[in-house]
C-alpha cells in the first residue's frame, strides 16, 4: 500500500526550498503526496516566526492536529522551521508531546527519515514511478501590493526527482542563516550563522530542476549578496550568477533578499550583463531616518541608500527595485517617520513591502527598547506609505500601456493566464492555448497599481513544451 505525506507551509520562500528537500527524501522512500492531512501517513509542518501571527498560525495548526494524531497514533507528525530553531525547542516539545520529530531550519530531513526507518519502513522501495506533490498553501493565493494587502504569489515548490508535473519557478537556497543581527530580527537565532553552499552543489540542483521543467530559479539567502563571505577567497554572488546563467534550458534567474551594505557594483554589473538574470533588485531600506537605522543596526545611512539606488539605476537603467519598510519602530517619532515617507517619495521604487513593527521575543529591540508607538499610529503610518506607493506604482505600471512585454506564464487564475515580466510585474491575459511554463509576448491593454492585463501578441511562438495534463495538488490551510 502506498504511503502518503502532507506538507503545511507558512513563511518565506526559504521555507518552500527547505520543505522541497525533505519531500524529495520522502519521495525516495516511496511516499506520495496527498492534499489532506487526514489521509496522510506523515504530516510535516514548515513554520515561521518572523511575525507573531505566523508563529500563532503554527501553534493553531498543531492544536488542530492533536485529535487527528489521537485517532491515528500510527501517523507521524513532524515540525520543522524557525519555530523549532537551530538550538532546539524544549518548551515546544513539552507543549506538544504528540509530535514525533522536530527538525531545525534548512534540514535535509534526516531526523524524519531516521524516525520512519525505526518505525519499520525499511522495506519501502525507491519510487520508480512519478509521484506528485505540491508544497503550497493559500498564503500564496493573493498578490501583494505595497506589502499590506495579502501575500506574494509564489509558484508551488518544485517536485522531487522523476515527477512529471511541470513547475515554473523554483526557490533555491544558496546561503543559510544570517550573521548580521539587526536588532528587530529573530532569524539569526532561529536559522544560525551564515553558511554558503558550494557553487557545484547549487548548479547541480538547478540543473536537476531544469530537467523537471523548471524555467526560473530564485536564489535565496537571508542576505543573499553576502553569498561566499564565509568562505576565504571563495566565490561571490556575481561568480555564482555567471555559473547559473550557463545552465542550458533555464530561462530566468532572480535572487533575494539583498542588503544595501553588500550590494556591490560587481554584482550589479553581472545583472546587467547576464541575459538570464532578471533586472529586478530587492534592497530593503527599512527606514529613511538615520537615527532609526542606527537603532535597527542596519549599518548604512539614508544618504548611502540613496547613493546605492543611484548606482543601481546607472548600471541597470531599467531595473525594477523593491524594498522593505518597517513603520513604528521603537522610538520612531512623527518627524523620523516623515523622513522615511520623504525618502520613498523621492526614490519612487517599484514595490514597497510594508510591515508594522511588532517585538519578537529574544531580539535586541524586544529586550532593550520599549514598543512605544501606539498601534493606531502604526496603522496611520502604514496607510500613508501604502497610499503613496499606490500612486507611484500606478504611474510606473501605466508606462507599459500599449507595450509588448515578455511574460513567463505560471498558471491560471479564475480562467485567465497569469505570469510575470522580467521586471516581476504581474500580468494576466486570456487565450485558449496551453501556456504554463512558456514565454509569451503580451500586449498590455490595462494597467493597475499592482497588476496589468492584455492580449497575447500573435507573433508569439507556440512551439514550446506543453504542460502535462496531470493536475498539481494544492495543500490548503
CATH number for the domain spanning 148: value is: 3.80.30.20
Strand partners, 277: 253
pLDDT at 77 over 60: yes
299 domain residue, yes or no:
yes
What is residue 461's three-state secondary structure? coil
| pLDDT number for residue 472 | 27
Average pLDDT over every residue of 364-386:
97
| Buried b or exposed e, range 10-32, using 16+ CB within 10 angstroms | bbbbbbbbbbbbbbbbbbbbbbb
What is residue 151's three-state secondary structure? coil
Residue 402, Cβ density class (10 Å: 0-12 exposed, 13-18 middle, ≥19 buried): exposed
What average pLDDT is seen over the chain? 84
Determine what percent of the chain is predicted with pLDDT higher than 90.
61
Characterize the bridge pairing of strands 216-221 and 169-176. parallel
375 domain residue, yes or no:
yes
Q: What total of structural domains would you count in the chain?
A: 1
75 domain residue, yes or no:
no
Q: Are 311 and 265 in contact (CB under 8 A)?
A: yes
35 domain residue, yes or no:
no
pLDDT at 222 over 70: yes
| 280: confidence class by pLDDT, cuts 50, 70, 90 | very high
| pLDDT number for residue 119 | 56
Q: Which tens digit of pLDDT belongs to each residue from 179-198?
A: 888 999 888 887 888 999 99
| pLDDT number for residue 44 | 92
| 340: confidence class by pLDDT, cuts 50, 70, 90 | very high
| pLDDT number for residue 368 | 96
Which cell goes with 44?
A: 510535516
| Strand positions, DSSP E, 401-447 | 404-413, 416-420, 426-430, 439-447
Q: Which tens digit of pLDDT belongs to each residue from 124-183?
A: 333 333 333 333 233 233 333 333 322 333 333 344 544 433 489 988 999 998 888 899
Q: Which tens digit of pLDDT belongs to each residue from 342-357?
A: 999 999 999 999 999 9
410 domain residue, yes or no:
no
Residue corresponding to grid cell 506574494: 152
Q: How many CB atoms sit inside 10 A of residue 388's CB?
A: 17
Q: Are 9 and 475 in contact (CB under 8 A)?
A: yes
pTM: 0.78
CA atoms within 13 A on the CB side of 236: 14
pLDDT at 411 over 80: yes
Strand partners, 172: 219
92 domain residue, yes or no:
no
50 domain residue, yes or no:
no
What range does the domain containing 323 cover?
142-398
Task: Name, in order, each residue with C-beta under 8 angstroms of 34's C-beta and a sequence gap of 6 or more.
Answer: 4, 5, 6, 40, 473
361 domain residue, yes or no:
yes
Amino acid at each position: 500500500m502506498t504511503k502518503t505525506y502532507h506538507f503545511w507551509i507558512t513563511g518565506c520562500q526559504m521555507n518552500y526550498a527547505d520543505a522541497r528537500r525533505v519531500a524529495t527524501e520522502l519521495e525516495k522512500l516511496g511516499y506520495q503526496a496527498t492534499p489532506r492531512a487526514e489521509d496522510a501517513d506523515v504530516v510535516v509542518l514548515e513554520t515561521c516566526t518572523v511575525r507573531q501571527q505566523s508563529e500563532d498560525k503554527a501553534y493553531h495548526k498543531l492544536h488542530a492536529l492533536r485529535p487527528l494524531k489521537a485517532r491515528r497514533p500510527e501517523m507521524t507528525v513532524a515540525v520543522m522551521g524557525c519555530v523549532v530553531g537551530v538550538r532546539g525547542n524544549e518548551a515546544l516539545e513539552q507543549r506538544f508531546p504528540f509530535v514525533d520529530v522536530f527538525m531545525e531550519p534548512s534540514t535535509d530531513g534526516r531526523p524524519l527519515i531516521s524516525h520512519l526507518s525505526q518505525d519499520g519502513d525499511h522495506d519501502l522501495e525507491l519510487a520508480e514511478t512519478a509521484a506528485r506533490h505540491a508544497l503550497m498553501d493559500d498564503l500564496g493565493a493573493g498578490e501583494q501590493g505595497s506589502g499590506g494587502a495579502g501575500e506574494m504569489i509564489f509558484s508551488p515548490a518544485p517536485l522531487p526527482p522523476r515527477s512529471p508535473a511541470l513547475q515554473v519557478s523554483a526557490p533555491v537556497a544558496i546561503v543559510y542563516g544570517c550573521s548580521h543581527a539587526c536588532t528587530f530580527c529573530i532569524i539569526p537565532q532561529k536559522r544560525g550563522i551564515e553558511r554558503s553552499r558550494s557553487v557545484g552543489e547549487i548548479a547541480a540542483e538547478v540543473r536537476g530542476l531544469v530537467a523537471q521543467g523548471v524555467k526560473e530559479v530564485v536564489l535565496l539567502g537571508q542576505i543573499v549578496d553576502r553569498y561566499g563571505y564565509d568562505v576565504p577567497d571563495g566565490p561571490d554572488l556575481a561568480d555564482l550568477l555567471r555559473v547559473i546563467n550557463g545552465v542550458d534550458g533555464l530561462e530566468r534567474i532572480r535572487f533575494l533578499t539583498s542588503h544595501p551594505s553588500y550590494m556591490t557594483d560587481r554584482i550589479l554589473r553581472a545583472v546587467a550583463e547576464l541575459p538570464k538574470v532578471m533586472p529586478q533588485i530587492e534592497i530593503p531600506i527599512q527606514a529613511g531616518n538615520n537615527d532609526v537605522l542606527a537603532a535597527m543596526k542596519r549599518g548604512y545611512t539614508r544618504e548611502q541608500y540613496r547613493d546605492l539606488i543611484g548606482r543601481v539605476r546607472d548600471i541597470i537603467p531599467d531595473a525594477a527595485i523593491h524594498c522593505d519598510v518597517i513603520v513604528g519602530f521603537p522610538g520612531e517619532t512623527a518627524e523620523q517617520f516623515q523622513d522615511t515617507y520623504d525618502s520613498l517619495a523621492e526614490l519612487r521604487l517599484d514595490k514597497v513591502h510594508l510591515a508594522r513593527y511588532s517585538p519578537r521575543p529574544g531580539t535586541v529591540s524586544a529586550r532593550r527598547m520599549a514598543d512605544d508607538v501606539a498601534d493606531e499610529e502604526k496603522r496611520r503610518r502604514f496607510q500613508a506609505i501604502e497610499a503613496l506607493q499606490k500612486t507611484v506604482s500606478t504611474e510606473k505600471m501605466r508606462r507599459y500601456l500599449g507595450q509588448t512585454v515578455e511574460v513567463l506564464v505560471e498558471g491560471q487564475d479564475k480562467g485567465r493566464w497569469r505570469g510575470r515580466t522580467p521586471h516581476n510585474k504581474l500580468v494576466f491575459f486570456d487565450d485558449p492555448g496551453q501556456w504554463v511554463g512558456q514565454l509569451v509576448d503580451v500586449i498590455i491593454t490595462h494597467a493597475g497599481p499592482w497588476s496589468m492585463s492584455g492580449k497575447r501578441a500573435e507573433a508569439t511562438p507556440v512551439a514550446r513544451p506543453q504542460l502535462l495534463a496531470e493536475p498539481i495538488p494544492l495543500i490548503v490551510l
